[in-house]
Amino acid sequence: MGSPVVRHALLLSLLCAGALGFLLCCHGAAVAPAYVTVSAASFAPSSTCSASDPVAPQQNDTFTVLRLTHRHGPCAPLRASSLAAPSVADTLRADQRRAEHILRRVSGRGAPQLWDYKAAAATVPANWGYDIGTSNYVVTASLGTPGMAQTLEVDTGSDLSWVQCKPCAAPSCYRQKDPLFDPAQSSSYAAVPCGRSACAGLGIYASACSAAQCGYVVSYGDGSNTTGVYSSDTLTLAANATVQGFLFGCGHAQSGGLFTGIDGLLGFGREQPSLVQQTAGAYGGVFSYCLPTKSSTTGYLTLGGPSGVAPGFSTTQLLPSPNAPTYYVVMLTGISVGGQPLSVPASAFAAGTVVDTGTVITRLPPAAYAALRSAFRSGMASYPSAPPIGILDTCYSFAGYGTVNLTSVALTFSSGATMTLGADGIMSFGCLAFASSGSDGSMAILGNVQQRSFEVRIDGSSVGFRPSSC
């Protein structure tokens, strides 16, 4: 069965998975286990959707639930084998661009000037609305009357939602799985006139008017962009769950490879154009999501739910983000490795932490990351190391091992909210799934690897974490 330390870790792991888990793990009432024991085979990707109980779209008077899947996994809707998943190297490069973009925005330094922005400016309006791209989790909803199915990215780091629309011939539009949305075929579609308050509310995403129609433009962190007509139509999330007059961008010109294969994006940011704000009257500005631990399983996205403190959640305060009000910011206060708190001054975390669905790898200020890496390497000293992969510099080879005792990692936030990570939240691509933010004093970013299997609940004042939820 292994050493007494491992047996103790296994006992605590079992307790944390049960009814006592909320008390023992989420609020730090007991010391976190030193190890997480997993099968080495569990790190291998699967090409088969193994969701035993997929979440079907549901709806009642207070909430709506949609099935959430990894964009490139076997559970993704209408998966097309011709649309290959990006390589690990490409994923990490895109992730680094996204993280850099977020950190520039929250620091007040604006959007990064990437090498291809100047060339792109020849085909899009000069008034750019900067945002960040995502390449991870999707839901299916219907747009228009009659409804047309749309496979859409879910992004907490974006406000404006959009889909590709006809007319949009190649190369103005990238390839997608579903037919392009055709405004002419929807009886409920309308372009937003330039003089309407909704057009004025676009802010940095506003573009020049054309034929008295409100224009929009969004550019993403890798140079991808979308531009077109700001519009309204009926968005159907589930049976009997519709958003009348939903405001979105009807994209007639897109460039860049960030979104190839999907139909558009649903913005879940904090600003007025987002789906969260547009449905606040129906759902109270509350939403939650559970990202699946692997791309071969499913999670869920929920709009609405009980107001106030939700049972089972470990909750921390939601903070303002003056320089970039789109983002959800909390205060990370400490990290434990192998059950022991790291000796990192509180000032290392003082800038706050962005909770983001689209960033893959969690970013920590350099002092905090160096302490985490050192402690983790010490706890994993018995395993052979592997070459670094891109931004990931602490990697291992588990070839020949039946089981692996991963050194545990737990993240603690203000008010004592604690995320005790599972194996899928500690390692990704065979490496420790954390990286440096690049400069002390910068914000941290809580990436989606660490959020997997937690239900993350966000309302107007707090962010909550409930473990083992999908």
> What pTM was estimated for this model as a whole?
0.85
Catalytic residue among 155, 178, 233, 459: 155
Alpha helices by DSSP H, 343-394 = 366-379
Work out the mean pLDDT of the chain and round it to a whole number.
82
Q: Looking at residue 85, what is its pLDDT?
A: 67
- The band of 59, judged by pLDDT with boundaries at 50, 70 and 90, is low
- The band of 221, judged by pLDDT with boundaries at 50, 70 and 90, is low
Rounded CA separation 177/71 (Å): 12
Question: Is pLDDT of 14 > 50?
Answer: no
Rounded CA separation 169/189 (Å): 21
Options 3.40.50.261, 2.40.70.10, 3.40.640.10, 2.40.50.100; CATH for 4-47+313-466 is 2.40.70.10
Rounded to 5 degrees, what are φ and ψ at 119? -65, -40
pLDDT > 70 in the chain, percent: 81
Across 76-85, 97-106, 363-372, the highest mean pLDDT is recorded for: 363-372
Q: Looking at residue 78, what is its pLDDT?
A: 60
Q: Looking at residue 276, what is its pLDDT?
A: 96
Q: Looking at residue 172, what is its pLDDT?
A: 84
Rounded CA separation 398/384 (Å): 7
- Residues 432-460 have a mean pLDDT of 93
Q: Looking at residue 163, what is its pLDDT?
A: 95
Q: Decide if 356 is catalytic.
A: yes
Question: Is pLDDT of 455 > 70?
Answer: yes
Question: Is pLDDT of 146 > 90?
Answer: yes
Q: Cα 151–157–161 angle (5° rounding)?
A: 40
Q: Both tokens of residue 106? A: 């929250």
- Between these two residues, 452 and 170, which has the higher pLDDT value? 452
- The band of 57, judged by pLDDT with boundaries at 50, 70 and 90, is low
Tell the burial category of 359 from Cβ atoms under 10 Å away from its Cβ (0-12, 13-18, 19+): buried
Question: Is pLDDT of 92 > 60?
Answer: yes
Q: Looking at residue 61, what is its pLDDT?
A: 63
Q: Decide if 155 is catalytic.
A: yes
Q: Looking at residue 348, what is its pLDDT?
A: 94
Q: Looking at residue 262, what is its pLDDT?
A: 83
> Which of 194, 168, 248, 258 lies closest to 220 in space, CA to CA?
258
Question: Is pLDDT of 20 > 50?
Answer: no
- Between these two residues, 245 and 169, which has the higher pLDDT value? 245
Estimate to the nearest angstrom the gap between the alpha carbon of 296 and the chain centroid: 17
Q: Looking at residue 86, what is its pLDDT?
A: 73
- Residues 137-147 have a mean pLDDT of 93
What would the pLDDT profile of 297-316 be if each residue is shown by its tens digit? 889 999 998 766 778 899 99
What would the pLDDT profile of 389-440 be if each residue is shown by its tens digit? 999 999 999 999 999 999 999 999 999 999 999 999 999 989 999 999 988 8
Q: Where are the domains of the chain?
A: 4-47+313-466, 58-301
- Residues 272-279 have a mean pLDDT of 95
What would the pLDDT profile of 204-217 be if each residue is shown by its tens digit? 899 988 889 999 99
Options 2.40.70.10, 2.60.120.260, 3.40.50.300, 1.10.10.10; CATH for 58-301 is 2.40.70.10
Q: Looking at residue 54, what is its pLDDT?
A: 47
Q: Looking at residue 115, what is its pLDDT?
A: 25
Catalytic residue among 159, 356, 424, 459: 356
pLDDT > 90 in the chain, percent: 54
Distances (CA, A) of 233 to 36, 41, 97: 48, 47, 33
The yes-or-no answer to whether 4-47+313-466 and 58-301 have a common fold is yes
Residue 25's identity, in one-letter code, is C
What would the pLDDT profile of 339-397 be if each residue is shown by its tens digit? 999 999 989 999 999 999 989 999 999 999 999 999 999 999 999 999 999 999 999 99
